[in-house]
Every structure is written in structure tokens, then in C-alpha cells.
Amino acid sequence: MSWWDVFINELRAIFFNRSIVLTVFGGVIFYSFLYPLPYSQQVPREQKVVVVNLDESQLSRKLERMVDATPQVELSERAYSVEEAEKLFLEKRLAGILVIPENFYRDLLLGHQPTLSFAGDASYILVYSTVLEGMLGAGGTMSAEVKVTRMVMSGQAMALAAEQYSAIRLNSRPAFNETMGYVNYIVPAVFILILHQTLIIGVGLLGGGQNKKRLDGEGGYWLQASPLKLLMVRALIFAAIYWILSLYYFGFCFVYYGVPHLADAAELHLLLLPFLLSAAMLGICIGAVLPRCELATLIVLLTSMPLVFGAGFVWPTVAIPAPIATILNMVPVVPAIQGFLRLNQMGADFQAIIPLWKQLWLLAGGYGFLAWLLLHRHQALAEKQRVAKHSCEQSLSEIDNISQQLS
Amino acid sequence: MGRSFFSIVLREVRELAHDRWLFSLVSWIPLALFFVMFQMFSQQIPRELPLGVIDLDKSTLSRGLIRHYQVSPALEVDDHFFDMSQGAEALRNGDIYALAVIPADLSQDVMLGRPTQVTVFVNDQLLLIGKIINSSLLQAHATFTGQVEAGKNLLGSTQVIELAVSQAAPTASKVTALFNLSVNYAQFLVSAILPAIWQILMIVTTIVSLANSQRLYGGNSWLGEEVVTSLFAKFLPLSILFSLQGALFFSAMYVWQGWPMHGNWLLIFFAQLLTAWASIAAGSLFFFATRGKVETSLSLAASYAAPALAFMGVTFPVTDMTLPARIWRSFLPITHYVEVQFAQVNYGAAVESAVPQLLSLTVFAIPMILAFVLAQRSCRFVNGGAGE
């Protein structure tokens, strides 16, 4: 079979297979809208908090207003005791409690240090940190105001100096995801995973389906073409399809969702190539060992969660135990997510991601070789099966002949 | 009737062991997945996250501050950076998660009582990691500030600095992390990830089990005359299995790992049983809606169940989701279950408070009925076709 014949046969096998088309095109487009959906507001805002004001002074009311004015927090409820606040907190599933102590104003004037109590629901950690950010921010501003007022009232410039003396403030600034938005956080990484997973399902459905036909004794172009040709053509076709889909993600979707994209286009393409090839090769290997095509979807679906959390963008890579990290590093999506995040989100030089780039090429080569071995073996097995069937038929017809002659 | 139902159930149980893949799905795969997730988060709170420091001051004071960063278990200080460009490059390349810049005149400013600050650039592309680093740094600053102050004793009375974020200020702050006292990130993530994996497992197992019968007996013939009976007989052992899986991952979290659980165990198990039936309903609807085309129904199941975690409202609050997101969310059984789980585990909420979620789970009887109707129709079509 010539390259061209293999190419035409492959295209037909892909585009006439409804499941493949549905998964590859339908899946990629559907996910591009579904995944960012819950995060479309980017940052949690106006989390509902209950306030207990035991002081009821003018100053404490001012503090309430300041907390309420922060974008993170909304004082939606008011309670008159801590117990009542706890009850409200549980009943209405609020995000936090703010307690302004008794004699807050008096203690401040006397120079005693009154304690503001904040509580947040830490079972939702990201919401918790948002709420605390808002409440502590307002509390800090209030403190600073009081400090200035006190200094002016006392007329002692030293008072301010003495108090500020110790505070080496921490000025924390987000380096890349400047808005600290969730879409910017989730989308760039998860989209790589979607490309990877749907690509493997697509290739796996094709390979698994052909494998089942072979086991059922059916033949086809995939048993006649040389394994190397089949392998190369299949990987290149899927890489080409996913090239277009990647452009849809990196181009249209990133712009649509306002996700920063810092990478040079040429460098992005340079990283895409080994990523798509290695994923395709892995898909061919998976397809070749499966007795039925639907198992490809099954395997990919079940491994999604470990891959999301093992890719290093949620849970730090250094915190993942070595045996698990080793296995994860053999899946193309893991180095790919790290590479694309650095290149496109963090603006790293291509030089810096060369180790990841090499790793992807190594995976492409390794899985390619494995796939070649598997396809080779399948053809040998199919040939054996054919020969056995043939000789069996021959002996059967001979027996027929003999029995006819005998009768 | 009763006896025949029982015999079909027995047949179904035998079939679970018949196919290697189906058997794996109901035996070692759930165990392996749960175990891997526990292992992955076994550090509970990440340790030794690389932090770059540029010390432009190079004084005793700045070195003391850096030692305080180093003492924090979450941070691993790398202070061999000499200038901004070097540090910025390391941050961009992902070698460090954050870069702290100590200004040249830090000790001088401190001596003169001028306000001064350390600027830290945190890689918030990795939002959660960024937050961990941020809170560790705040804590380090608070303790350092307290020590310097005590040493100099300028204020005459030592201020007690309760917690990380409070600064030397007229008011003190006390922060309480409710329900997750140690702010354990593993507890937060794993308690949502495992239910999400469980739902995926339930839906795909349902589909694979239906496909298995289809393959064994050819077409819909296994459904026989009594479609509803046959389906119930298939789903009953599955629902028991799924409930066991649920009980397993739940116990692994709150018994094996020993995380605090304040609620009602029976209510959790009941909610899990309903969730199992709701997931079976979803899986069987996918199967019969695609006329038993297993790879298509699995593809649909993938787009349905894989992103469920994002919609749970654990990482991002439900109140901030847009209407379409909230609608999609309500179609996922696991989001209702997770609400019950969180309310019970964290707040020890009253049993009655779970009623809305449990009712929502019973609404999944509708897709179940729909699946039955589709199954019945496909049978009639096949039987009718054979009659002609």
C-alpha cells in the first residue's frame, strides 16, 4: 500500500466514524464552553458575612461600613451575640463571622489593644482566603486611620514613628495572573488536558475498533499497510486535526475569555508539535492493546482526575510523592501543561522549557516505537490467523473430497 | 415473579465477574483511584515550596528576616539571586514560585522608624500555591516583627501578635479557621475530588454493564418481556456496589485519615444510596438515548461527568456562578450529594436541613423513567421488526 492509499483510508476511517467525530470536534468545542462556565465571574465577590457588633459605637459602625465596602465581603446579616451569629452562619451557609468586641471604641482611646475576631469557613479554602482578605484589609485600614488620628491628637510625631517602627510590611503582588482570576487559572491548563484526552480517545477509538475487527477475524487496510506507514500517517493526521483545534483554543478561546497569552506564535507551534505527536502515539498504543474501542474512552475518563491534580498547576509538583510523579511524567499532558503555562502564561523563554520539550520528544519516540512493535505483532498475528484459517479450510475440503470418494 | 427477579439479580451478579473489564471497574479500579488520590495529597499541607529572595540590604536584619522565611515549613528559600532580572527569569521559568525583594535600605529605614516594605512577586498563575506562599510569608513577617519589637522594647509594653496578618497596629486581630482548623489543603481538595471520581465510576460502570449484557445476549434480548424488572435486577446489585464504594471512600477520609466528621453517618450513607441511583439513571439514559451505542454514550458521559468537580462549588462559590452554570450544576447528582456531605462533615447540620438536596436527588427518577421508556421502545421495535 502506498502512503497515499493509507492516507485516504485513514481519513475515511476517521471521518466516517461518528463516535470519533463527536468526541474530537464535538468534545473540544463543548468543553471550551462548559469548563470555564462556573468561573466566568473570575473572582469570588461579596461573600456573605454576619457581623456581631458588641460595641455599637460610631467607630465600630464605621468599621462595619468599611468591611461592607470591600469587594470581597458583604455584611448581609447582623447578630447580637456570638451564639446567634454561629447559628445564622450555619443556617444560611454564610462565609464568615466578624466580631467587634465590647468597649472597642473605649479601649482604642485608652490605648489598650482591642481584638477584632474574624472567622471564616476554612472547609472552602479559596473562599476563606477571599473573605479574610476583605475583612483583614478593612481592619488594617481602620487601624491605620486610628493611628494617624491618635498621632495628630497627641501631637507627638514620635508616636507614629514608634508604632510603625517594627512593621516591615509585606507588599504582595501577583506576578502573572494579575487579576487572580479563576478563568485565567483554570483554562490554560485544563484546555491542554482536554486536547490531550480527546485526542487519545479519538485515536484509541480508531485503534480499538480496528483491533476488535482483527480479533473477530476481519481484515482491512490497517493489516495490509506497513506498520511504520500506518503509524506515521495516523499520528500526522491526528496531529493536523488537533493543530487546528489547538489554534481554536489558543487563539479564539483565549481571546474570548481574556486569558493572557504571552508566547511567541512560532514557539507555541514548536511546543505543540511534540505534544500532539506524543499524545497521538500514546493513543495508538492504547488502541492497540484494547479488545474493544469504547475502553479507550473509559481509560481516558478514569485517568482525568489524577492527571488534573498531578500536572502541577493545582498541587505543587514538589509535594507529589516520587513514584506517582514518575508515572505522571510519562504522560505527555503533564510536561505539556508545565511547558505551555511557562511559555504562554508566564512568558518564559523557549530556552527554559527545552528540558520539557525534549521530554515530550522522548515520549513521542518511546510511544512511537512501542506502537510500531504492537502494530507489527498484530499484523503477524492476523497473518497467522489467516494462514491457520486457510489451512483449516483446505484440510476440511480435503476431508470432504476423501469422504465423497469413499462414498 | 419474586423468584424470577431474584434469579435475574443472581445472573447479573455473576455477569459482573464475567467480563474482565467490568470486573476491574467494580473491584480494583475504584480502590486504586482512591488510593492514588490519597497518596498524591499525602503531604496534606505542601512543604518546601521554592521561594527566591533578592537581598539588596545584606544586613543582620535582612538575614534575620530570611531566616524566618526559611523556618516556615511551607517555604524553601533560595537566596542566590543577585539582581531583579535573574530572579524574574527564575520566576518565569517556574524554578521558584515567588520572589521576595528586600530593599537596600531596609535596616536603615527600620532604624529611623520609616515605614518600609518587602515586595514579593507571587506566581498567581498557580492560584492555590500562591495563596499558600502568601500566608506563610505573612506569618513569617508577623513573628519577625514581633521579635524585633520585643528586642528593642520601644513601645514599653510588648504587643501580643495573635496571628499572621496582624500588624503592629492599634487593633489586634484574631482569625479562626472554622471547620478546618489547620487549613489542611488535602482535606479541602480530596473531600471534593473523591466524590467526583466516584460519580464518574458509577456512570461508566452502569454503561459498561449495560453494554456487557447487550454483547453477551445480542441486542436487547436480555431485557426480555419484563423490561422494568430486568433493568431493576441489573441496577440493584450495582447500586449496592456503588454504595459500598461510597462508604469506602468516605470512611477512608474520616476514619483512616482521621479528619473530623461532625455529622450523621447514616444520613451520609442514605444520600450516597440516592446518589448512586441518580448516577445509574444518568448512565442508563445515555445508554438508551444513543440506542445502546456504547462508545457514543461513554463520550456523552465523559462530557457530563468529567467537569463535575468545577461545578461543585467547593473551589469556587456557587453564589458567584452564573445562571447557566447553576442550571448545569443542578443536573449533576454529585453536586447535591456534596452539599449534604459538607453540611454534615463540617457543620454537623441537622438531618432535616438535608431534605432539599435529598429531594433533588429523587428528581433523577425522571431520567430513570425516561431510560425505561427508551429501553421498552427499543425492545418493541426489535420484537415488532422480527414479527413482520
* pLDDT for res B171: 66
C-alpha cell at A318: 514538589
Assign 3-state DSSP to chain B and report helix, strand, coil percentages, each to 5: 65, 10, 25
Long-range contacts of A396-402 (CB under 8 A, 24+ apart): none
| Average pLDDT of chain A to the nearest whole number | 85
Mean pLDDT of B105-129: 82
ipTM for the complex shown: 0.86
Question: Is B92 in Cβ contact with A352 (below 8 Å)?
Answer: yes
Q: Given a cut of 50, is residue B194 above it in pLDDT?
A: yes
| Average pLDDT of chain B to the nearest whole number | 83
Smallest Cα distance from B54 to chain A, Å:
14
Q: Given a cut of 50, is residue B388 above it in pLDDT?
A: no
**Same domain membership, residue B54 and residue B33:** no
Beta strands of A38-111 (E only): which ranges?
A: 47-53, 73-79, 96-100
Secondary structure of residue B96 in the 3-state scheme: coil
pLDDT in tens, B64-90: 888 888 888 888 888 778 888 888 888
Q: Of the residues A135, A165, A195, which one is the last residue of a structural domain?
A: A165
Question: Is B129 in Cβ contact with A316 (below 8 Å)?
Answer: yes
**Same domain membership, residue B137 and residue B286:** no
Cross-strand partners of A114: none
**Same domain membership, residue B113 and residue B35:** no
Q: Which residue segment(s) compose the domain that A274 sits in? A: 3-38+181-392
**Same domain membership, residue B382 and residue B324:** yes
Q: Of the residues A165, A192, A216, which one is the last residue of a structural domain?
A: A165
Smallest Cα distance from A129 to chain B, Å:
8
Secondary structure of residue A49 in the 3-state scheme: strand
Q: In chain A, which residues have their Cβ closer than 8 Å to the Cβ of B40?
A: 306, 309-310, 315, 320-321, 324
Give the number of domains in chain A: 2
Secondary structure of residue A391 in the 3-state scheme: helix
CATH number of the domain where residue A56 is located: 3.40.1710.10
- Touching check for B108 and chain A: CB below 8 Å? no
For chain B, the residue count is 388
C-alpha cell at A102: 465590647
Does residue B170 lie in a domain region?
Answer: no
- A-chain residue closest to B155, CA distance: A162
Residues 6+ apart with CB under 8 A from B352: none
Q: In chain B, which residues have their Cβ closer than 8 Å to the Cβ of A188?
A: 125
* pLDDT for res B167: 36
- Touching check for A329 and chain B: CB below 8 Å? no
CB atoms within 10 A of CB A218: 11
Q: In chain A, which residues have their Cβ closer than 8 Å to the Cβ of B188?
A: 122-125
* pLDDT for res A371: 93
pLDDT in tens, B139-180: 787 777 766 655 554 444 444 443 333 334 556 667 777 777
Question: Is B307 in Cβ contact with A35 (below 8 Å)?
Answer: yes
pLDDT class for A104, splitting at 50, 70, 90?
Answer: confident
For residue A4, give the H/E element and its range.
helix A3-15
* pLDDT for res B149: 59
Give the number of domains in chain B: 2
- B-chain residue closest to A356, CA distance: B93
- Using alpha carbons, select from A96, A101, A104, A54 the residue that is nearest to residue A75: A96
**Same domain membership, residue B71 and residue B190:** no
pLDDT in tens, B300-352: 999 899 888 888 887 787 878 888 888 999 999 999 999 899 888 887 888 88
- A-chain residue closest to B30, CA distance: A302
**Same domain membership, residue A72 and residue A190:** no
Question: Is B180 in Cβ contact with A302 (below 8 Å)?
Answer: no
Q: Given a cut of 60, is residue B1 above it in pLDDT?
A: no
Q: Given a cut of 60, is residue B118 above it in pLDDT?
A: yes
- In Å, what is the CA distance from B71 to each residue of B48, B90, B177? 10, 22, 22
Q: Given a cut of 50, is residue A372 above it in pLDDT?
A: yes
Q: Return residues 11-40 of A near B (CB < 8 Å).
A: 18-19, 22-23, 26-27, 30-31, 34-35, 37-40
Q: Which residue type does B165 have?
A: V
Question: Is A305 in Cβ contact with B37 (below 8 Å)?
Answer: yes
- Touching check for A202 and chain B: CB below 8 Å? no
pLDDT in tens, A126-151: 778 888 878 877 877 777 677 666 66
Does residue B247 lie in a domain region?
Answer: yes
Q: Given a cut of 90, is residue A224 above it in pLDDT?
A: no
Does residue B165 lie in a domain region?
Answer: no
Secondary structure of residue B221 in the 3-state scheme: helix
Percent of chain B whose predicted confidence (pLDDT) is above 90: 28
pLDDT in tens, A387-396: 888 888 888 8
For residue B52, give the H/E element and its range.
strand B49-55
CB atoms within 10 A of CB B78: 15
Q: Given a cut of 90, is residue B182 above it in pLDDT?
A: no
Mean pLDDT of A56-76: 84
**Same domain membership, residue A223 and residue A135:** no
Does residue B175 lie in a domain region?
Answer: no
pLDDT in tens, A234-250: 999 999 999 999 999 99
**Angstrom distance (rounded) from CA A380 to CA A374:** 10
Q: Which residue segment(s) compose the domain that B299 sits in? A: 2-41+184-387
CATH number of the domain where residue B56 is located: 3.40.1710.10
For residues A121 and A233, which has the higher predicted lDDT (pLDDT)?
Answer: A233
Does residue B78 lie in a domain region?
Answer: yes
**Angstrom distance (rounded) from CA B192 to CA B353:** 20
Does residue A84 lie in a domain region?
Answer: yes
**Same domain membership, residue A213 and residue A152:** no
Percent of chain A whose predicted confidence (pLDDT) is above 70: 94
- Touching check for A262 and chain B: CB below 8 Å? no
Q: Of the residues A124, A139, A165, which one is the last residue of a structural domain?
A: A165
Q: Which residue type does B335 have?
A: T
**Same domain membership, residue A146 and residue A230:** no
What is the Cα Rg of chain A in Å? 32
Residues 6+ apart with CB under 8 A from B250: B268, B269, B272, B341
